[in-house]
Structure 1
Amino acid sequence: MIQKSAIIAKLRERGQNARADWVDRELPDTLDPFLHSGLLSTLHLDLKELESPASPTP
């Protein structure tokens, strides 16, 4: 899953504040990379940079 906050941060780094604001208003807190792959591609976001790290297993 991808955290919406990671997408917003990446867009703001690029100076794309209007897109970041839209993402903040319109998208859920976590995104399924497969379900939202088209949107991520449109925003030119690299999936590997955005994915949440896997939880370590004890």
Structure 2
Amino acid sequence: MIIFRIVVVTVLRERQHVRAAFVERELPEHIDTSEHGGLLAMLHLEPAASARRASL
């Protein structure tokens, strides 16, 4: 699944501003959850929830 970096950054800014800045610098605009799943898990992000949020 591909999710937009901006969705992840938005979620993180609500909780962990420093990590949001890291993600914004380090990850590509389109995040492949199979490739970056470990990082998303470390950040306590559920890719499916992020995808639902993006569609709102």
TM-score, scaled to structure 2: 0.83
Query: CA RMSD of the aligned region, Å?
Result: 1.2
Higher alpha-carbon Rg? 1
* Structure holding more helix per residue: 2
Unaligned runs of 5+ in 2: none
Distance 1:45 1:27 in 2: 14
Q: CA deviation at 1:10?
A: 0.4
Q: Identity, % of aligned pairs?
A: 40
Unaligned runs of 5+ in 1: 54-58
Secondary structure in 2 matching 1:28: coil
TM-score, scaled to structure 1: 0.81
Q: What amino acid does structure 2 have at the position aligned with 1:11?
A: L
- Structure 1 runs (4+) deviating above 6 angstroms are none
Are positions 1:40 and 2:29 aligned together? no
